[in-house]
Chain A
């Protein structure tokens, strides 16, 4: 059975890297007594994957991981019964009891057989960036100008080289409020852009002061390319 866990990252957890969060979740599953399925081979590892890594320092209320869980051993069975499927209604309360305050678990859903994994499903991500009131006009103006353009060629640094790409199709929604900027932008394996990068372009287009940085960046949700939330897949337990 494959389950999708929706979780958040707050406080101290913002400074914990992607791989460490993955290892922490493996521990949380063990603490929760939820039997994980393991890969084959001499050093088997739990079958678990994340939708999209979150940059260090960012908080989030919309992270997802998919995990395969297996039949429980009689000894592990919370109901003391024979070997059988893990009782679905136990999943969320047990994960919540096993995690820490800075790594809140919001929901667990059971995915139907053969549905794509979280990583392959991601197409968009939404963010909230904290702003000062005096930046509002700059950003509003930048947003109008960017959204009005047909293409926005930018250079993007990868690990090995600099590539040219068009930012325009990556921008789904830009909304400016007095205290915050909301972005819905491309994310995932097809096209991926960081909120900080969009911020830079907005400031430039709005002719704002060089070097001003958003106050706090928070990921709100991850979505499929068609805009439906990853949290909508499967069935809630």
Chain B
């Protein structure tokens, strides 16, 4: 029987002990003596959140297909166990073997959101690995980071030996081969890191040195050894049909946040919304074939036993064969009572027809994401959705029996005025009016409920808004309050609900998103002061973060309140994502003029992603010819 790292007594004390015992269906067990490389894959949040992450499942599956590699999983211990582990000096362990992480060759940490940074330090600390890469010895695992936050890894650069820039399917094989080869010849950690820097997509932060102007902005970012390229090129999968897929997903015993099969239908997005980092850094759009998707769906459902499957992409309606895909899935799933979940579908007659078949209309709600309250501002952000689209979709939905509608907005977008803000409640009111106009009293099934929620805009690297300034916390709250007042003034105020996100977290996220290496010591200090699980509103302690900034002599407003000049060198400029800085700047200029840019299917705008010669890009056809 598998041994467990934690004693009965501890497991009986902590909340949800199932988080720490492993042994799930489809978890992979191997003999550690029969592999050359042990990889601990960490999602730095609690098990229930991290478990269903698709990226983790993809790499877990891919790594474990190699007979010489054993990949296991690690999640953040919840504060109750964290305390016990420190008291009793129990080292952090991986779920499968229950062995200490410190005994592994690699610790890979996926960085899905900035607010997990303090948890990254907890993982290192509990594992007994020195927090900073510079302090690590030959006995420590190689710590590698991947995921969306690596598009600006600089705030956490000191804590990692390597970063993987791009899609995991591409160069992990080469990295593992290199490691195994060098380990056998007795090469040192430093020698391995230098050699790894020569692999496309691998960034070794210790091999670069930033220098700064007197005003604190970046002056230069210089490679220190010949192996380190001046520019690290993002690696991507060129053909989505040729890569593996986790058709044996791990099925947790306890209900995770993602309790279903995830079917990734494509990568990238044709839309080019100017605030959206994913829309830029995953270009170009690459689809999986319909036949392959049906095969994956069938096998994954059979192997996991899940009773739900969810489509995953940035904008599922833009998948070129969405109708046959959904129809095919419905045929496959209905006999076996398997549900289909369709997030990110545009509301139109097709999607409403499908949704009325797969959901309970009375219970479910429909979601629109206009992001901004006026057409002017929607043009600035290049959100292709017009008020006509929204009203047409809403009218169809009301006739179809839906009475619950959600709207998502952002506050603090570049060029936003009071008119744009008041446009939010006004748009919601027009949707309510539409309901009362369209649906006669006797046909109304329940009261109309419109929920609007707004987050505060955080400018992200590699977007046309990467030059934009943010606002102070007080200003954000002021704006949200004015919107709230606007809702109270509407005729049908009782049918309208408005909620807004936390402003403190927004400001901190802004610092991390576009921060440089100087931010690293603030993160370390905040962690020492007790910051942990910052993504959990009830655990987030802004006062401690402010104290950390003060003690480190770092001014957060340097990162948030400055609109950057056109020629500023950014900490992330050494990464080449394909999309060029010149294109992003062109988009910034068009935003300021309120001019929309056509989507990739309508017309190529020459963003630079064509250099990958794949997917939807015209260069892909040339490459095939």
Residues of B within 8 A of A43 (CB): 360
List the 7 closest pairs (A to B, CB-CB), nearest first. Answer: A27-B305, A12-B23, A12-B21, A30-B305, A15-B17, A31-B305, A16-B253
Given A31-B303, A31-B305, residue A20 in contact with residue B253 (CB < 8 A): yes
Mask, A29-72, CB within 8 Å of B = 1, is 11101010010001110100000000011000000000000000
Of all chain A residues, which has the CB nearest B305? A27
B contact face: mostly helix, strand, loop, or mixed: loop
Of all chain A residues, which has the CB nearest B17? A15
Q: Which one of B1-9, B384-392, B600-608 is at the interface?
A: B1-9
Q: 8 Å CB contacts to B: which residues of A64-100? A: 73, 75-76, 98-100
Does the CB pair A101–B23 fall under 8 Å?
A: yes
Residues of B within 8 A of A99 (CB): 25
Given A26-B307, A98-B305, residue A20 in contact with residue B21 (CB < 8 A): no
Per the bound structure, the CA–CA distance linking A13 and B25 in Å amounts to: 11
Q: Which of A20, A30, A44, A101 has the most CB of B within 10 A?
A: A30
Q: 8 Å CB contacts to A: which residues of B1-47? A: 1-2, 4, 8, 11-12, 17-18, 21-25, 27
Residues of B within 8 A of A44 (CB): 337
Q: 8 Å CB contacts to A: which residues of B333-355? A: 335-337
Of all chain B residues, which has the CB nearest A27? B305
Task: Say yes or no for B251: interface residue by CB 8 A criterion.
Answer: yes
Task: Say yes or no for B619: interface residue by CB 8 A criterion.
Answer: no
Task: Say yes or no for A110: interface residue by CB 8 A criterion.
Answer: no
Does the CB pair B21–A15 fall under 8 Å?
A: yes
Given A27-B251, A27-B306, A57-B8, residue A100 in contact with residue B301 (CB < 8 A): no
Q: How far is the CB of B73 from chain A (nearest CB, A)?
A: 13
Per the bound structure, the CA–CA distance linking A73 and B337 in Å amounts to: 13
Does the CB pair A216–B8 fall under 8 Å?
A: yes
Task: Say yes or no for A151: interface residue by CB 8 A criterion.
Answer: no
Task: Say yes or no for B241: interface residue by CB 8 A criterion.
Answer: no
Does the CB pair B21–A29 fall under 8 Å?
A: no
Partner of B2, one of A12, A15, A26, A35: A12
Residues of A within 8 A of B22 (CB): 12
Q: How far is the CB of A162 from chain B (nearest CB, A)?
A: 24
Mask, A95-126, CB within 8 Å of B = 1, is 00011111000000000000000000000000
Partner of B12, one of A56, A75, A98: A56
Per the bound structure, the CA–CA distance linking A20 and B306 in Å amounts to: 13
Does the CB pair B23–A20 fall under 8 Å?
A: no
Residues of A within 8 A of B582 (CB): none
Interface size on A, as a range, is: 35 or more
Residues of B within 8 A of A31 (CB): 25, 302-305
Per the bound structure, the CA–CA distance linking A57 and B9 in Å amounts to: 9
Residues of B within 8 A of A102 (CB): 1-2, 23
Per the bound structure, the CA–CA distance linking A106 and B362 in Å amounts to: 43
A-B contacts, CB under 8 A, total: 85
Residues of B within 8 A of A57 (CB): 8, 11-12
Partner of A13, one of B251, B253, B306, B360: B253
Residues of A within 8 A of B27 (CB): 100
Interface size on B, as a range, is: 20 to 34
Residues of B within 8 A of A38 (CB): 337
Task: Say yes or no for B255: interface residue by CB 8 A criterion.
Answer: yes
Per the bound structure, the CA–CA distance linking A228 and B337 in Å amounts to: 37
Q: 8 Å CB contacts to A: which residues of B301-340? A: 301-307, 335-337
Does the CB pair A11–B4 fall under 8 Å?
A: yes
Given A16-B18, A21-B253, residue A30 in contact with residue B336 (CB < 8 A): yes
Residues of B within 8 A of A12 (CB): 2, 4, 18, 21-23, 253
Of all chain A residues, which has the CB nearest B20? A15
Q: Jot down 24 A-B pairs with beta carbons below 8 A, ordered by A.
A: A11-B1, A11-B4, A12-B21, A12-B22, A12-B253, A15-B18, A16-B18, A17-B254, A23-B255, A26-B305, A27-B25, A27-B305, A27-B306, A27-B307, A28-B25, A28-B305, A33-B302, A43-B360, A46-B337, A56-B12, A57-B11, A76-B336, A100-B24, A100-B25
Q: Which of A17, A21, A75 has the most CB of B within 10 A?
A: A17
Residues of B within 8 A of A177 (CB): none
Does the CB pair B11–A15 fall under 8 Å?
A: yes
Per the bound structure, the CA–CA distance linking A31 and B25 in Å amounts to: 10
Task: Say yes or no for A201: interface residue by CB 8 A criterion.
Answer: no
Per the bound structure, the CA–CA distance linking A68 and B279 in Å amounts to: 48
Of all chain A residues, which has the CB nearest B8? A57
Residues of B within 8 A of A10 (CB): 1
Residues of A within 8 A of B21 (CB): 11-12, 15
Q: How far is the CB of A115 from chain B (nearest CB, A)?
A: 26
Does the CB pair A30–B25 fall under 8 Å?
A: no
Residues of B within 8 A of A15 (CB): 11, 17-18, 21
Of all chain B residues, which has the CB nearest A102? B23
Given A20-B255, A43-B360, residue A13 in contact with residue B8 (CB < 8 A): no
Residues of B within 8 A of A23 (CB): 255
